[in-house]
Amino acid sequence: MARPECDVIDFSALERELQGAIEGEQRHKRENEAKLRAVSQRVSTYSEFRDLVLTCHLKPLEKTDKDRAPRKQPWNPVAPSNR
Protein backbone atom coordinates (compact mmCIF):
# COMPACT_ATOMS: atom_id res chain seq x y z
CA MET A 1 0.00 0.00 0.00
CA ALA A 2 1.32 3.47 -0.95
CA ARG A 3 2.19 5.95 1.74
CA PRO A 4 -0.02 9.07 1.69
CA GLU A 5 2.94 11.53 1.82
CA CYS A 6 4.23 10.15 -1.50
CA ASP A 7 0.96 11.11 -3.21
CA VAL A 8 1.23 14.80 -2.28
CA ILE A 9 2.45 17.14 -5.03
CA ASP A 10 4.38 20.24 -3.97
CA PHE A 11 2.97 22.75 -6.44
CA SER A 12 5.17 25.62 -5.27
CA ALA A 13 8.32 23.56 -5.93
CA LEU A 14 6.90 22.51 -9.28
CA GLU A 15 6.19 26.16 -10.15
CA ARG A 16 9.76 27.20 -9.18
CA GLU A 17 11.19 24.40 -11.31
CA LEU A 18 9.04 25.45 -14.26
CA GLN A 19 10.06 29.12 -13.91
CA GLY A 20 13.72 28.11 -13.75
CA ALA A 21 13.34 26.00 -16.89
CA ILE A 22 11.58 28.85 -18.73
CA GLU A 23 14.27 31.37 -17.73
CA GLY A 24 17.00 28.95 -18.77
CA GLU A 25 15.40 28.43 -22.17
CA GLN A 26 14.98 32.19 -22.68
CA ARG A 27 18.62 32.76 -21.75
CA HIS A 28 19.78 30.04 -24.14
CA LYS A 29 17.73 31.52 -26.99
CA ARG A 30 18.93 35.08 -26.27
CA GLU A 31 22.60 34.00 -26.13
CA ASN A 32 22.31 31.93 -29.31
CA GLU A 33 20.80 34.88 -31.18
CA ALA A 34 23.62 37.10 -29.89
CA LYS A 35 26.19 34.57 -31.11
CA LEU A 36 24.64 34.46 -34.56
CA ARG A 37 24.56 38.29 -34.73
CA ALA A 38 28.21 38.47 -33.65
CA VAL A 39 29.25 35.98 -36.31
CA SER A 40 27.31 37.83 -39.00
CA GLN A 41 28.97 41.11 -37.92
CA ARG A 42 32.36 39.42 -38.35
CA VAL A 43 33.85 40.64 -35.08
CA SER A 44 37.61 40.79 -35.23
CA THR A 45 38.53 39.13 -31.93
CA TYR A 46 37.14 36.53 -29.60
CA SER A 47 36.97 39.06 -26.77
CA GLU A 48 34.57 41.21 -28.82
CA PHE A 49 32.48 38.12 -29.56
CA ARG A 50 32.46 37.17 -25.89
CA ASP A 51 31.50 40.70 -24.81
CA LEU A 52 28.58 40.75 -27.24
CA VAL A 53 27.30 37.43 -25.90
CA LEU A 54 27.79 38.38 -22.25
CA THR A 55 25.88 41.64 -22.68
CA CYS A 56 22.97 40.22 -24.68
CA HIS A 57 20.62 40.53 -21.67
CA LEU A 58 21.01 44.33 -21.58
CA LYS A 59 18.38 46.54 -23.16
CA PRO A 60 18.99 50.02 -24.59
CA LEU A 61 17.80 53.02 -22.62
CA GLU A 62 14.74 54.85 -23.78
CA LYS A 63 14.90 58.62 -24.21
CA THR A 64 12.49 59.04 -21.30
CA ASP A 65 14.80 56.99 -19.07
CA LYS A 66 17.57 59.57 -19.47
CA ASP A 67 15.45 62.72 -19.49
CA ARG A 68 13.62 62.16 -16.21
CA ALA A 69 16.47 60.59 -14.26
CA PRO A 70 18.17 62.84 -11.72
CA ARG A 71 21.79 63.58 -12.48
CA LYS A 72 24.04 62.15 -9.84
CA GLN A 73 27.24 63.84 -10.94
CA PRO A 74 27.69 67.12 -12.73
CA TRP A 75 29.52 67.15 -16.03
CA ASN A 76 32.27 69.32 -14.65
CA PRO A 77 32.48 69.25 -10.85
CA VAL A 78 35.21 71.95 -10.85
CA ALA A 79 33.23 74.56 -12.76
CA PRO A 80 30.90 76.84 -10.80
CA SER A 81 27.26 75.84 -10.99
CA ASN A 82 24.79 77.82 -13.09
CA ARG A 83 22.15 78.17 -10.37
- Contact present, 31 and 53 (Cβ < 8 Å): yes
Say what the pTM is. Answer: 0.59
Residue 2 in 3-state DSSP?
A: coil
- Contact present, 53 and 35 (Cβ < 8 Å): yes
- pLDDT of 65: 73
Tell me the three-class secondary structure of 21-58, residue by residue: HHHHHHHHHHHHHHHHHHHHCCCCCHHHHHHHHHCCCC
Q: What is the mean pLDDT of residues 53-57?
A: 92
Give 6-40 pLDDT, tens digit per residue. Answer: 678 899 999 999 999 999 999 999 999 999 999 99
User: Domain ranges in the chain?
Assistant: 13-59
